[in-house]
Structure 1
Amino acid sequence: MEINYYSVITKGTWTVMSIGNLLPASQRLFVALRVPEPIGCALQNECKHYKIDIPFSKWTYSKDYHITLQFLGDTESSKIHALCEALHRVASELKPFMLEMGIWDIFGVPEAPRVLYKTVAGDLARLECLQHKIVESTVELQFNKEARKYRPHITVARKYTGKNPFQRDLLISSSVAENLPWYVSEFVLFTTHIGAKPMYEVVEAFPIMN
């Protein structure tokens, strides 16, 4: 489901849409690329084989797989219109490109990683150009720029809970998902619903048309 939050008026702790619906005064937002459903399903099926031997506290739901471009954080709903306009301008300046799944990797202590993820391969130069343009356009709207170097990835699981040290060798270096490249022709603005499945909902999609 995609929702459109244009024509909003802030009123107290809620935002009133012109058609009468209520929105929270702020939402937790980020800009991302969606992982196509066939690739997400292939990756989820692969993860089923690892869950017993490689225990993590939380495994990502297949429909929530994504590549973050910029985390925006809690944002006033009244600012979403200007944000979407800026992102549409970015999309109009770019051309579609190809990506594919990379290898397994981790963030955190090697013996007890906090994040298990898949790297991203393909046309990384265009991906980084897209990410840079998005960041620059949102900085102009007073959003914060991430200080760390951009590392595109797909989060698969969080917080290793095994009693024994994490063993990277248990992860097969290749997978079905890695052999399924996809064509990137849009990016999206997500809002977050903590605890829901799926947890991320599209606020607006931005087609890359050039």
Structure 2
Amino acid sequence: MPRLFTALEIPRDAALSLSLLRGGLPGARWIDVENYHLTLRFFGDVEGHVADEIANALDRIRRPSFSLTLSGVGAFGSKKPHSLYAAVTASPDLMALQGEIERICQRLGLPADPRKFVPHVTIARLRNTHPMEAAAYLSARGNFATMPFKVGRFVLMSSRDSVGGGPYVIEETWPLPTPDVRVAGGAFDMALASRMMR
């Protein structure tokens, strides 16, 4: 049975920047470049009818596209580091999208995710890596950042249980359309006019 999760894909230029972080840390199993992604919500192993319910509910999401920037690196597991990741610059649009998916999960009665959502892209799994070596790696790459990239869709991915993650398969996609600038400008003009009339 496949494991399901919603995610954002990492475009080629950003993935190339991430790939330059590979190497220089004993005990690291580096994620293949084609498997980079940003998990929005992990569902785990679900039955077929539950997967259909999830997909049908996600069909109702209507959110605009937005930009993201990867900036900085970190490790999960401070005393015994188990994975390395690239961090994401704060994004209200990303948090709003993830929050809506989380609310859908609650309405469907899916178990709550015990972990707080921390946007990140996993770049390596660690085994028997000494915390000092991980700290040295992170400090040497602390100024890592990508150029901003546009997020134009989110996806439902599946994975088989494997060591190190992947291969991942995109099961369904949902577009995040570009906002209509005229509508946004009109709303802004109306808000500005109402403030000036006070």
Q: Does 1:201 align with 2:165?
A: no
Partner of 1:113: 81
Query: Structure 2: how far apart are the matches of 1:61 and 1:125?
Result: 29
Say which SS state the counterpart of residue 165 (structure 1) adopts: helix
CA RMSD in angstroms comes to 2.2
Which string of whole-angstrom CA distances, capped at 9 and with x for unpartnered residues, describes residues 92-141 of structure 1? 2x11111011101111135x41111111015x111111101001112222
Kindly state the Cα deviation for residue 66 of structure 1 after the two structures are TM-superposed.
1.0
Q: Distance in 1 between matches of 2:131 and 2:169?
A: 36
Show the 5 A alignment for 1:88-99. 88-90=59-61, 92=62, 94-99=63-68
Give the AA of the match of 1:106.
A
Question: Contact 2:71–2:146 at 8 Å: present in 1 too?
Answer: no
CA distance in 1, matches of 2:162, 2:131: 28
Q: Kindly indicate whether residue 14 of structure 2 is the aligned counterpart of residue 46 of structure 1.
A: no
Deviates more, 1:192-201 or 1:68-77: 192-201
Give the match for residue 16 of structure 1. none
> Matches of 2:76 and 2:142 in 1, distance apart?
17
Instruction: Give the CA deviation at 1:205.
Output: 0.6
Q: Does structure 2 conserve the Cα–Cα contact (< 8 Å) formed by 1:28 and 1:73?
A: yes
Change (3 A) 1:141 1:113: same
Q: What's the TM-score, normalizing by structure 1?
A: 0.75
Question: Secondary structure of the residue that 1:80 maps to in structure 2?
Answer: helix
Q: How many aligned residue pairs are there? A: 175
Change beyond 3 A, Cα 1:101–1:163: closer
Alpha carbons 1:113, 1:166 under 8 Å: kept: no
Which of 119, 134, 138 matches 2:101? 134
* TM-score (ref. length: structure 2): 0.79
Partner of 1:150: 117
1:77 aligns with 2:52: no
Helix, strand or coil for the counterpart of 1:179?
coil
**Partner amino acid, structure 2, of 1:39:** A
Q: Is the 8 A contact 1:55 1:162 kept in 2?
A: yes
1:55 counterpart residue number: 26
C-alpha change, 1:160 and 1:27, in structure 2 (3 Å) is closer
Asked if the contact 2:3–2:161 (Cα under 8 Å) also holds between the matched residues in 1, the reply is no
Instruction: Give the Cα separation in 1 of the matches to 2:129 and 2:53.
Output: 45
Distance in 2 (CA, whole Å) between partners of 1:203 and 1:129 is 23
- CA deviation vs aligned residue, 1:67-111 (integer Å, no higher than 9, x gap): 111110111123322211211211x2x11111011101111135x
Tell me the CA shift for residue 44 of structure 1. 1.1
Q: Is 1:34 the counterpart of 2:9 in the alignment?
A: yes
- The structure with the largest strand share of the pair is 1
SS in 2 for 1:166: helix
Any conservation in 2 of the 1:56–1:157 contact (CA below 8 Å)? no
* 8 A Cα contact 2:78 2:131, kept in partner: no
Aligned partner letter, 2:111: N
- The whole-number CA distance in structure 1 between the counterparts of 2:28 and 2:20 is 18
Q: Given residue 127 of structure 1, which amino acid in structure 2 is its aligned partner?
A: L
Instruction: In structure 1, list runs of 5 or more residues that go unmatched.
Output: 1-25
Whole-Å separation in 2 of the counterparts to 1:156 and 1:34: 14
Structure 1 residue 167: deviation in Å? 4.3
